[in-house]
Amino acid sequence: MFLDGKKALITGSTSGIGLAVARSLRAEGAEVVLNGFGDAGEIAKLCAELGASYSGADLTDVAQVEEMMAEAGGVDILVNNAGTQHVSPVEDFPIDKWNLIIALNLTAAFHTTRLAVPAMKEKGWGRIINTASAHSLTASPFKSAYNASKHGIAGFTKTIALELAQTGVTANCISPGYVWTPLIEGQIPDTMKARGLSREEVINDVLLAKQPTKKFVQPEEVGALAVFLCREEAGNVTGANWSIDGGWTAE
């Protein structure tokens, strides 16, 4: 398998997109390091399924990120995927939610990247894949912190792609539209409140209204794109922001 001998650390991989990416990379032979929160028994099952190791680091705490990266050793593939969301008008946006979203969705990727790059450069090979979002390219109301964090990660990714351009290390964003995961389910009640809509109206008139295909993106489809970016044939794909959004950002 083409990722035999490569080690992949995927942040926020106990759930949703990160878990699907971990499964896809594992299926191509990568050794996987999982990270994220969740039920200890469920996480142990995932580790057994994937032959993976696990770090429970809270990525909003720099010391815990440093410990996770030191324990993982030199990783060949770094997937910065952990993220969170909060939906609120800007004038009511809770300050702690703003700080959490910027810390997790943006600053954590800076820390993991700065710690992963030296070993990648030494090996002359590496893949940095950042889960951004359609909201790295466009905006929706009531998601000020999220949109700022995702536009930020897109700019960060371009910058490191340029810095690493001659090292064999690529850096790219994957930008999904709406993928049915706990993160999306969790924002439905707040969106109902912010917009005065029913659950069905939020799903059909807010979420799927954005996607011309009228379908949620599947986590496995994001996993397949991550696998492609790890291929040798993708060695010249760097600094890109890959949309997988059912046509959302084409409009």
Task: Please identify every residue annotated as catalytic.
Answer: 146
Q: Any contact of residue 104 with ligand NAD (CB under 6 A)? A: yes
Minimum CB separation of residue 66 from ligand NAD in Å reads 14
List all residues 6 or more positions away from 43 whose beta carbon is below 8 Å from its beta carbon. 14, 34, 36, 54, 56
Minimum CB separation of residue 223 from ligand NAD in Å reads 11
Minimum CB separation of residue 122 from ligand NAD in Å reads 27
Q: Any contact of residue 215 with ligand NAD (CB under 6 A)? A: no
Please identify, using beta-carbon distances, which residue of 38 and 168 lies nearer to ligand NAD.
38
Q: Half-sphere exposure of 33 toward its Cβ, with a 13 Å CA cutoff?
A: 21
C-beta neighbour count of 220 within 10 angstroms = 14
List all residues 6 or more positions away from 95 whose beta carbon is below 8 Å from its beta carbon. none
Structure tokens, 104: 């997790």
Q: Any contact of residue 246 with ligand NAD (CB under 6 A)? A: no
Among 139, 184, 188, 224, binds ligand NAD (CB under 6 A): 184
Distance of CA 232 to the CA centre of its chain: 22
Please identify, using beta-carbon distances, which residue of 122 and 213 lies nearer to ligand NAD.
213
Q: How far apart are CA 159 and CA 144, in angstroms?
A: 23
Q: Any contact of residue 248 with ligand NAD (CB under 6 A)? A: no
Structure tokens, 210: 């954005």
Minimum CB separation of residue 184 from ligand NAD in Å reads 5
Q: Any contact of residue 18 with ligand NAD (CB under 6 A)? A: yes
Concatenated DSSP letters of 13-31: -SSHHHHHHHHHHHHTT-E
Structure tokens, 106: 């943006």
Q: Any contact of residue 37 with ligand NAD (CB under 6 A)? A: yes
Site residues for ligand NAD per CB under 6 A = 12-18, 35-38, 58-60, 81-84, 104-105, 131, 133, 176, 178-179, 181-184
